[in-house]
Amino acid sequence: MEKDRSPLAVTMTRRRFLALASAAVGGWARPAWAVGAQRSDHAPSLRVPRFTRNGAKVPIVIELAQPMTAAHHVTSVRVTNENDPISSKGTFHFTPANGRVYLAFQARMHEGSSEVTATAECNLHGPFSTSSPIEIPPGAGGCVAGGPPEAGRRPSGDDIRAPVIRIPELVAAGAIRRGQLIHVQVKMRHPNRTGLVFRDGKFVQESEPLHLDTLEVFHDAEPVSHFALTSALSDDPFFTFSLLARRGGRLHVVVTNSRGQRLDATHELHVA
């Protein structure tokens, strides 16, 4: 089969990814994405680019149609790529307070042809998986250390800033309705380093990894989500996830990194 060479398939810029993540309230442009087959409302819909020249920032989008109730809900989604030295891209835990499962983020992946797999765990029916192919050309993988520093980043690469919360529905409409499903965007300045180098045909741990370790979400004191992250996360992470706005209150996001540093952000939810 001939490769998809549309501009989006060839490269996924950060600006384009942010625009797509913001489009959670609308539709998605599907032609440039590999979309995993959906067997039921339990199987995750998985979107990754079929081809990308930037293995350091591979966009991943996961959705599930299954409603989230106390009696029947998705408890977690695990994202993997067995072709990579850091095969786990994260395990993302959800609760009925999320309303639905929607997740968008970026990860590092090794060069070559492989498959990304999302495995959703239902509290009643167990695991359901979906896989989608991806191809990254030689030299474009993002799992190893090295390379020139990003423009504007200190040479040490460890500049870190607190997360920022944005809610597209609030920006668009100026208000949030009670019972509305909203999409929370969290972005922050933080490097994520595997510490790996590829030497003599194998990956070698040359330096200590530096990465976000967890991201926790609370609505007042109620736990909403817990994301267990790995060094395969991209630099300067940007997450989008869903939340059911059942009431007003304080939305609180707490992130910790592999050095034990803790940063947080809050956003007051005013529900009409």
Beta bridge partners of 239: 186
Residue 154, number of CB atoms within 10 A of its CB: 10
Q: How much is the pLDDT for 187?
A: 97
Each residue of 138-191: pLDDT tens digit?
A: 999 998 865 445 555 665 556 899 999 999 999 999 999 999 999 999 999 999
Of 25, 30, 26, the C-alpha closest to 45 is 30
Distance CA 242, CA 232 (A): 23
Cβ-Cβ contacts under 8 Å for 128 (sequence gap 6 or more): 39, 40, 42, 43, 44, 119, 120, 122
Q: How confident is the model at residue 38 (pLDDT cuts 50, 70, 90)?
A: very low
Q: At residue 8, does pLDDT exceed 70? A: no
Q: Judge whether 50 and 34 are in contact, CB under 8 Å.
A: yes
Once rounded to an integer, what is the mean pLDDT over residues 93-100? 98
With H, G, I as helix, E, B as strand and everything else as coil, classify residue 110.
Answer: coil
Domain 7-269 has what CATH class? mainly beta
For residue 231, which amino acid is it? S
Residue 263 has pLDDT above 90, yes or no: yes
Domain map of the chain by residue range?
Answer: 7-269
Say what the pTM is.
0.85
Record the tokens describing residue 226, joined without a space. Answer: 């817990």
Give the contacts of 41 (CB within 8 A, at least 6 positions apart): 64, 65, 66
Torsion of CA 224, 160, 147, 85, to 10 degrees: -30
Each residue's pLDDT tens digit, 200-220: 889 999 999 999 999 999 999
Dist. CA 241–CA 248, nearest whole Å: 18
Q: What is the pLDDT of residue 30?
A: 34
**What is residue 96's predicted lDDT score, i.e. its pLDDT?**
98
Q: Which residues pair with 133 in a beta bridge?
A: 115
Q: Residue 2 CB: number of other CB atoms within 10 A?
A: 4
The span from the CA of 23 to the CA of 183, in Å, is 10
Contact by Cβ (8 Å): 216, 92: no
At 42, the pLDDT band (50, 70, 90 cuts) reads: confident
**Tokens representing 227?**
């994301």
